[in-house]
Amino acid sequence: MGAKKPRIVIIGAGMAGLTAAHELCTSARDEFEVLVVEAGSRIGGRINTSEFGPDRIELGATWIHGVGGSPVYEIASRIGSLSSDRPWECMDCSFEVRTVAEDGSEVTRAVSELVSALFDSLMDFAQGKAKVFEDGACSSQESKEEFRGIAAEALEACRSECGRARNPSIGSFLRKGLEIYWGRSGCGKDPRRNLDEEAVFAMNENIQRTYTSAGDLSSLDFWAEREYMTCSGEEITIANGYSSVVQHLASVLPPGTIRIGWEVVKIEWHPLANGHADSYPVTLHFRDRATIHADHVIVTVSLGVLKARTGPGTSLFSPPLPPFKTDAISRLGFGTVNKLFLHLTSAADNRVEFPFLQMAFHRPDSEFKNRAVPWWMRRTASLSPIHRNSDVLLSWFAGKEALHLETLTEEEILDEVSSAVNSMISPSDPGSAGVKFGKALRSKWGSDPLFLGSYSYVAVGSSGDDLDALAVPLPLTLPRGCSALQIMFAGEATHRTHYSTTHGAYYSGIREAVRLLKHYKCGGWTDYDG
């Protein structure tokens, strides 16, 4: 390489990009020239801590999904981000749950706990977990075993119906489970009870839609659920905001490393020999800015952006990515999940304590259909204060409902949500003032061109192999004179077992930084040939 330091350009200042830059700069400060180019006006990407009235809230990543072994937890605790004088989102989130059916009737605890336990058993089975239930009325040893039996039977039924060629989906497996449960327990039951059971089951499916971002669970691959890994321990939120973690990673980079407002529009690379060893093999073109030449580029843009920018004619890459990449990109799932925050207004002398409201909607053709509820709220599972005594309420949305939410004005949201909620929590008292919302804020991950969705899932028709394929650096084969590791990939969607999370993005950033560190220590590209 002579005197020239290898130049590494990282595209995207989200968790993956900043982690890679951090690792490169701390492990080998003077070996490389490192740049991070970010199209947006801020760092963090899908981590977007924001303000709503006096409260600090998260529009993107919210939870550390299990503190055990989590690198995000390790950083947050090391920098003192886990406590704050100010209240924060979900500092306490386990208060009294009230489950209300759409016609305003209360769903009994017996029904909601039993059906939720059935649902959890089905998901545990799908995920290959043998979860130990806490002992409660509805999760006795007996029902636990019965539910596991139902799950096994449901999978068998799904497999014989779908045939071996097509993989079962989580959606069809779950519904099969409910059918079998009803087959065993349904006789002679009150029809209203069946309806409520179905509504609570659907509510649990809706929670699962927001966990996975699969707008439709019938597009979520059954077998991939077993590969997905979760960290152990408690799930917590970050008192000082999720952004404090990425700010910390950025703070140790040499000044000038991060370029904000630099949008890459074309990545030119050379999968065939390009002549001189000392010329840069990759050229980045930006919107309204100069080009940058590089030895290595680490692409961390979302799978949503890759889906939109790898097709013929629209490709970010020149030449376009090879088919093994574009096929994996188009097969994998990338859905939209959005959060909606509402400010509860009430006269000072009439403060309403809002419960953790779970909403159970019946099938859309049900006789109990509540016309005050707009279609885009009918698959929302809950509305609850962001912490005890907070005046800020939060709902999660997925799929086409989440996308529709992005198109509404604040007034439309306030209007439609308040009539829906009032019709459900005080239906018999139309004269009462009910609850009023004064302000709304929602995320817009689906329509933001820098994300085009929220996180990845393994869709029916794809598999963990596709996540691995996304991580493979290019070019694959190295003709004489061709440089290795021209284009590398990091980001949540490139991690086979921790995709969709911030720690998955973190691990992927480390993986690509280490790939480069090894590449230079081991003295060449032959390691990666073939």
Ligand X SMILES: *[C@@H]1O[C@H](CO)[C@@H](O)[C@H](O)[C@H]1NC(C)=O
Ligand Y SMILES: Cc1cc2nc3c(=O)[nH]c(=O)nc-3n(C[C@H](O)[C@H](O)[C@H](O)COP(=O)(O)OP(=O)(O)OC[C@H]3O[C@@H](n4cnc5c(N)ncnc54)[C@H](O)[C@@H]3O)c2cc1C
| Binding site residues, ligand X, CB under 6 A | 48, 50, 59, 443-445, 448
Q: Decide which of ligand X, ligand Y, none touches 488; Cβ closer than 5 to 8 Å per partner kind.
A: none
User: Among 8, 9, 10, 15, which residue interacts with ligand Y (rule: CB under 6 A)?
Assistant: 15
**Count of positions on this chain that bind ligand Y (CB under 6 A):** 39
Contact 178, 198 (CB under 8 A): yes
Binding mask 270-309 for ligand Y (x = CB under 6 A): ------------------------------xxx--x----
> What tokens appear for 114 in the block?
């039993």
Give the angle subtended at the CA of 271 by the CAs of 270 and 273, to the nearest 5°: 75
Q: Does 57 bind ligand Y (CB under 6 A)?
A: no
39 binds ligand Y (CB under 6 A): yes
Q: Which does 505 bind (CB under 5 to 8 A by kind): ligand Y, ligand X, none?
A: ligand Y
Which of ligand Y, ligand X, none does 307 bind, CB closer than 5 to 8 A by kind? Answer: none
User: For residue 414, what are its two tokens?
Assistant: 């306030």
Q: How far is the CB of 444 from ligand X (least distance, A)?
A: 5
Taking the C-alpha atoms of residue 212 and residue 206, their distance in angstroms, rounded to an integer, is 10
Interaction of residue 202 with ligand Y, rule CB under 6 A: no
Partner from ligand X, ligand Y, none binding residue 14, C-beta < 5-8 Å depending on class: ligand Y
- Determine if 45 is a binding residue for ligand Y (CB under 6 A): yes
CA distance 399 to 212: 10
Q: Binding partner of residue 444 among ligand Y, ligand X, none, CB under 5 to 8 Å per kind?
A: ligand X
Least distance from ligand X to the Cβ atom of residue 448, Å: 4
Helix locations, 286-428, DSSP H: 303-308, 323-331, 399-407, 410-425
In the complex, least distance from residue 454 CB atom to ligand X, rounded to whole angstroms? 9
Q: 151: part of which helix (H) or strand (E)?
A: helix 141-162
Q: Which of 500, 511, 513, 516 binds ligand Y (CB under 6 A)?
A: 500
CB atoms inside a 10 Å sphere around CB 115: 24
Binder of residue 398, out of ligand X, ligand Y, none (CB less than 5 to 8 A by kind): none
Token readout for 454 is 């929220």
Per-position x/- string for 337-376, each x denoting binding to ligand Y as judged by CB under 6 A, each - no binding:
x-x-------------------------------------
415 binds, among ligand Y, ligand X, none (CB under 5 to 8 A by kind): none
Residue 459 neighbours by CB under 8 Å, 6+ apart: 214, 219, 220, 221, 331, 332, 333
- C-alpha 111/C-alpha 116 separation (Å) is 8
Q: Half-sphere exposure of residue 67, counting CA atoms within 13 Å on the CB side?
A: 12
Residue 48 binds which entry of ligand Y, ligand X, none, with Cβ cut-offs from 5 to 8 Å by kind? ligand X
DSSP collapsed to 3 states, 388-445:
CCCCEEEEEEEHHHHHHHHHCCHHHHHHHHHHHHHHHHCCCCCCCCCCEEEEEEECCC
Nearer to ligand Y, 18 or 115 (CB): 18
Per DSSP bridges, beta strands 455-457 and 356-360 are unpaired
Sheet strands (E) in 198-237: 236-237
Q: Token pair of 493, please?
A: 């969607």
* Pattern 237-276, ligand Y, x by CB under 6 A: --------------------------xx------------
- Is residue 386 packed enough to be buried (19+ CB in 10 Å), middle (13-18) or exposed (0-12)? buried
Q: Of the candidates 219, 454, 483, 486, which one interacts with ligand Y according to CB under 6 A?
A: 454
Per CB under 6 A, the segment of 31-39, 117-125, 173-181, 183-191 that binds ligand Y is 31-39
455 binds ligand Y (CB under 6 A): yes
Site residues, ligand Y (CB under 6 A): 11-17, 37-40, 45-47, 60-63, 65, 263-264, 300-302, 305, 337, 339, 443, 445, 450-451, 454-455, 491-492, 500-502, 505
